[in-house]
Amino acid sequence: ILNVEQSPQSLHVQEGDSTNFTCSFPSSNFYALHWYRWETAKSPEALFVMTLNGDEKKKGRISATLNTKEGYSYLYIKGSQPEDSATYLCAFYDYKLSFGAGTTVTVRA
């Protein structure tokens, strides 16, 4: 089982503030890194698939960067809104997905 770590485990953000959190993964034999958003009582939903060092992906107010040489990815939420409250999972892809435990974001109105 590959070691994929996410930090922090949880964070609370005031509405309108921006935030970011980290996913660390093995830097050798990199193939792809996935980000998922998992809202309470719903299914995990794919956000980004990142494959190239230096990749930056954006979806609305959410963006992600990738550093494959040092083995980390950041996910950013700009101007957080209550609907951004969810658990954000990263997963290292090596023919199978190995997930981190997630960062749970709570946006307070």
Residues engaged in binding another protein (CB under 8 A): 1, 4, 9, 32, 34, 36, 41-46, 49, 89, 93, 96-102
The smaller minimum CB distance to another protein, of residues 80 and 87, is found at: 87
The smaller minimum CB distance to another protein, of residues 18 and 51, is found at: 51
**Residue 15: CB minimum distance to another protein, A:** 25
**Residue 109: CB minimum distance to another protein, A:** 25
**Residue 16: CB minimum distance to another protein, A:** 28
3-state secondary structure of 90: strand
Q: What is the 3-state secondary structure (H, E, C) of 7-72?
A: ECCEEEEECCCCEEEEEECCCCCCCEEEEEEECCCCCCEEEEEECCCCCEEEECCEEEEEECCCCE
**Residue 86: CB minimum distance to another protein, A:** 13
Q: In 3D, which of 81, 75, 88 has the Cα closest to residue 21?
A: 75
The smaller minimum CB distance to another protein, of residues 26 and 78, is found at: 26
Dist. CA 62–CA 65, nearest whole Å = 11
